[in-house]
Structure 1
Amino acid sequence: MSRAFYLLVTAVLLKNYLFYEQGSGLNYFAFALFLLALVLWRKSGLFRERNMQLTTAGFLLTGFTAVYYGHSHTLILYVVSVFLLIGYSSVTQLSPYVSAFNGILSSLGLASFQASSQWLTSSSNRSTHRQLFRQFRMLLLPFLVTLVFYGLYYWANPDFSLFDRSYVLDTDYIFLTMVGFIWLPSLVFPYSAKVFAEADLKLANTLSRIRGRYKGQVLGLKWEYRQGIVMLGMLNLLLLVFLVFEGLMFSKGQQQQTAYDFSQSVHDSVNVLIFSILLAITLMLFYFRKNLNFFPKNRTLIRLAYTWIFLNLLLLGVTTYTNMLYIENNGLTFKRIGVYFWLFQTGCGLFTTLYKIHYKKSIAFLFRINSWVCYFTLIVFTAVPWTSIITTYNLSRAQILDLEYLKEFLPYNLPQLQESVYVYSESLDLKADLLESAQTFQKQYKQNPHTWQSWNYADWKINQYIETHPLSK
């Protein structure tokens, strides 16, 4: 217990050293390494588990992204990775969302409360408790008497002071320390909510046949099979007609639409697509939740399910193509990149549903695998240099250029915009804006010199560029 306590104090002090009055940079990656080392010290065998390996990979990637870009967009993913690490350091077989929930509960102080209560109620520590209490009673009276006499001496001569009067209590540092003592014990003294953990562990990844009628059976198995054939057959026919209609609309030409109508059509189609995919997956989960997976004559139903998934993938392709046309006309933005993210996620959902049907996997498996897919997709999307890609694409290919939008990313797209300053110098005083952005960045960079904790590649690179490519009025 004493070793763990000293390690906890070291962890809190190290966290304060890395993050107090610091920006995003090397501190994120260094702290990730320290937390992983802390878990390794406590129980090295945890890293043999696949879930812990995935969490470690995601945690290191988010830390590296913070070092490379230095922006705060990775903070949410970094915190999620910490919650996953805390959860899996307790129970490694849980689903990622249950593990993250356990990590949140532990970080709120439940882990430290459980550890302290166990230590206080432990019979082996009763002698230690009595000894500490005696020491406290022994020191309390001398401390109080000394404090009274110090007050009398200070009253007699106000110049007599043991403390620097200019010192101001740093409440931010104290708050950071208190927060550290609340959530860091969760990595030293693991905690897991047994109710959620036990319920999750009971859910297997692979389905097993249930003998006899079960409660989830709305109709008889044969009638449910026939209902599934009729429903999927009708839905396949309807979606096929819709895809043909969409193809005819594209052949007539989308360029006749106004920019506003085109934007609305893209947004509406994406929203409808996501809803329809979720509805399709829900239908698949309903009909392939239990014994229909083992029905001896279910080939027709499975083929209709495969066809339904394939047609939904075609619908996904149509919406992706529509989004591409919209980007070609109006340029690339983070919101339009977000559309690609959701399209990719829905596509992954369809493929994992196909995998679930083919290999007779459970609904719990589908949620688990899609949680990991979403987690790593977000990490990869965050690691892409979108600012540079957006600026380069819009300057070279967008038919409608929005310079005001690109200037929102200054100074990190300064090199690309400076190359185009002569082309767009007559519009919106671009050159003056670039000069002002560069001067503001360098002023902040010099006023707040970056220590090694908050060093990041993006800021360093832009500062080097400004120094080697000075802008003139």
Structure 2
Amino acid sequence: MKKLALFIAALLFSTFFYDQSIGLNLFLFSILTVAILFINNQTHFKNRKTQIYSAAYLITGLTIFFHSSTLSVIANLVAFFTLIGHLSETKSSIYINWLNGLYTTIAGLFHRNFAITESKHIEKENVQKPPIDYLHWAKITIIPAVILITFIALYKEGNPVFSNIIEQIDFGFINFQWILMAGLGYYLFHNIYAPIEVEPATEIDLKTENSLQKTNAFSIPKLKQENQLGVILISLLNALIVLYLITDVAFLTSDLDLRASVFSAQVHSGINALIGSIVIAIMILLYVFRGNLNFYEQNITLKRLAYTWIILNILLVISIAFKNSQYIYYFGLTYKRIGVLVYLILATIGLVSTLLKISSLKNNWYLFRVNTQAAFIILVASSTVNWDYHITNYNFNYAQSMDFNYLYNLSNNNTILLNEQLASKTLDYNSEQKIKDKYNKYVYQLRTNNWQELQYDNFKLNYK
């Protein structure tokens, strides 16, 4: 049953992807992958987390059908490794899932067949399997084939009718590249049907808890000194960030026309520096609260100062978000400006998780686990959005100024929307010609798509 399922999956894999571009086929492959994994790991699929990861993987595959983009393909690939790695050990962290998933995909077959473990030695001692006679198999396949070909060649010379029949046999219908693709599919599915763990990484992860533990180096005099240093340092940083926020409010409430003229330079130079300051802030807090200082009874003032600094940094995030939103209002949406907003969401999660780490006596592994999980969720969620469409729609309808060439150079996900803008008669002749040229090429591409390459725009086009 297993081998039959893998063989069918390999044929479907080649059917989906041989000489085809990405479209419906990747979603069908996602369904096929989940089916193969379910056949051999049914008990794991009763786990709620497994069901969530499976749903996330299928959603990313469906997303590619609606709007194929680099982000959605990356999200689908990451979700693929996450699901496979999770099935290897359902209790491991998500970054270990990625490691196990990648290793299983590349080397699962070799690991299962050639990895020597103590248990295998015991099994070999108890059950002696008869050795495979490779020489015998070679004899019964190669020798008859060579002799048969030899006699065919001889008979062709002796009988013109027989020679004509042999020459009429055409093996051109056999596509060896298609077969090779099917072989690759069989290798892939044979790797992943029974996911494996990477040791000792998985074992170390399972043994590593999230909570901090007091060490034998606990020393009140040393901790008192560290506490004093932390209080002074974070007090000064609190005062500095308060001063910065006051000046920032003054800048944001200044004359709008002046702000519009300087936003570009100010935002580009300022946001990167502020992003760096938030990262450094988190690193400082992780260093200060790295160990026994968390258990020092007189660290209440230090903790309060740390909480205050985290809250002030969140206010700094809000300030950056406001500047970025104003920048978007004046100059339109771009991927870089969206990327700033995504970073600010991640930074806020990092700050909040740092606060929870300090208040709940968690270690740095807790932070790493929480934030990698958050990053995965944001990646999957963001991949479901057709950003090219929304960037184009916003810039045409709401932005104070618009870079048409930027919109034109985006992927085909905004082509139909660009074509609809021709009716507005607000574009110059050159811009209109560019849109028509892009639209005609895209329509031709859609109409020549095979069923494996179908996209949602194929169906939109048919209804127009």
Query: Same fold by TM (over 0.5)?
Result: yes
1:459/1:128 CA distance change after superposition, 3 Å: farther
Amino acid at match of 1:209: K
Are the counterparts in 1 of residues 66 and 457 from structure 2 also a CA contact under 8 Å? yes
Task: Indicate how the Cα distance of structure 1 residues 425 and 396 shifts in structure 2: closer, same or farther if over 3 A, else same.
Answer: closer
Alpha carbons of structure 1 residues 132 and 312: separation in structure 2 relative to 1, 3 Å: same
Backbone CA RMSD of aligned residues: 3.0
Aligned counterpart for 2:16 among listed residues 18, 22, 45: 18
Contact 1:4 1:188 in 2 (8 A): no
Q: Match for residue 390 of structure 1? A: 391
Alignment of 1:27-46 (within 5 A): 27-46=25-44
Q: 1:125 to 1:290 in 2, by over 3 A?
A: same
Match of 1:184, SS state, is helix
Are positions 1:113 and 2:110 aligned together?
yes
What is the rounded CA distance, in whole Å, between the counterparts of 2:68 and 2:260 in structure 1?
Answer: 39
Residue aligning to 2:354? 353
| Conserved 8 A contact 1:86-1:186 | no
Query: Which residues in structure 2 correspond to 1:136-147 (within 5 Å)?
Result: 136-147=138-149
For 1:57, the equivalent position in structure 2 comes to 55
1:202 corresponds to: 207
Query: Shift in Å at residue 304 of structure 1?
Result: 0.8
For residue 179 of structure 1, the aligned residue among 179, 184, 189 is: 184
Matches within 5 A, 1:212-231: 212-213=216-217, 220-231=222-233
Letter aligned with residue 59 of structure 1: Y
* Aligned partner of 2:79 among 60, 81, 85: 81
1:112 to partner: Cα distance: 0.6
Q: Aligned in 2, Cα 1:434/1:285: closer, same or farther, shift over 3 Å? A: same
- Deviations, residues 99-127 of structure 1 (Å, cap 9, x unaligned): 21122222222x11122236998748864
Matching residue of 1:454: 453
Instruction: Measure how far apart 1:163 and its partner are.
Output: 4.6
TM-superposed deviation, 1:422: 5.0
Q: Structure 1 residues 273 and 53 mapped into 2: Cα distance closer, same or farther (>3 Å)?
A: farther
Moved more, 341-350 or 242-251: 242-251
In structure 1, the residue corresponding to 2:422 is in which secondary structure?
coil
**TM-aligned CA distance change 1:155 to 1:305, over 3 Å:** farther
TM-superposed CA distance for 1:35, in Å, is: 1.9
Counterpart of 1:407 in structure 2 is 408
CA–CA distance in 2 between the matches of 1:201 and 1:295?
A: 28
Q: Does 1:7 align with 2:5?
A: yes
Listed one character per residue, the Cα deviations across residues 341-388 of structure 1 (whole Å, up to 9, x for unaligned) are 111111111111122222222211111111111111112112123233
1:272-331: CA deviation from partner (whole Å, max 9, x where unpaired): 222222211112222222322222222211111111111111111111111111111111
Cα 1:54–1:353 shift into 2, 3 Å: farther
Q: Check 1:422–1:74 CA distance in 2 against 1; reply closer, same or farther (3 A cut).
A: closer
Q: CA contact under 8 A between 2:14 and 2:179: conserved in structure 1?
A: no
Structure 2: stretches of 5+ with no match in the other structure: none
Provide the secondary structure at the position in 2 that maps to 1:256. Answer: helix
Q: Distance in 2 between matches of 1:321 and 1:377?
A: 21
Q: Which has the higher helix share?
A: 2
CA contact (8 A) 1:425 1:431 kept: no
Per the TM alignment, residue 415 of structure 1 is displaced from its structure 2 partner at its CA by: 5.4
CA contact (8 A) 1:106 1:183 kept: no
Letter of the 1:8 counterpart: L
1:441 paired residue number: 442
Per the alignment, residue 330 of structure 2 pairs with 329
- C-alpha separation between the residues in 2 aligned to 1:154 and 1:411? 57
Distance 1:426 1:105, change over 3 A: closer
More displaced 10-residue stretch of structure 1: 298-307 or 151-160: 151-160
CA distance in 1, matches of 2:167, 2:6: 34
Give the whole-Å Cα distance in 1 for the aligned partners of 2:46 and 2:290. 32
Shift of 1:24: 3.2
In the alignment, is the contact (CA less than 8 A) between 1:424 and 1:430 conserved in 2? no
- Asked if the contact 1:65/1:74 (under 8 Å) is kept, the reply is yes
Matched to 2:30, the amino acid is A
Q: How far apart are residue 61 of structure 1 and its match?
A: 1.9
Tell me what 2:240 maps to. 238
Deviation of the 1:441 alpha carbon: 2.6
Show structure 1 runs of 5+ residues with no match.
469-473
Deviates more, 1:16-25 or 1:80-89: 16-25
Q: Tell me the TM-score normalised to structure 1 length.
A: 0.86
Paired amino acid for 1:378: L
What residue number does 2:250 align with?
Answer: 248
Q: Which residue of structure 1 aligns with residue 317 of structure 2?
A: 316
Distance 1:126 1:142 in 2: 32
Amino acid at match of 2:346: Q
- Alpha-carbon distance between aligned partners in 2 of 1:330 and 1:437, rounded to the nearest angstrom: 24
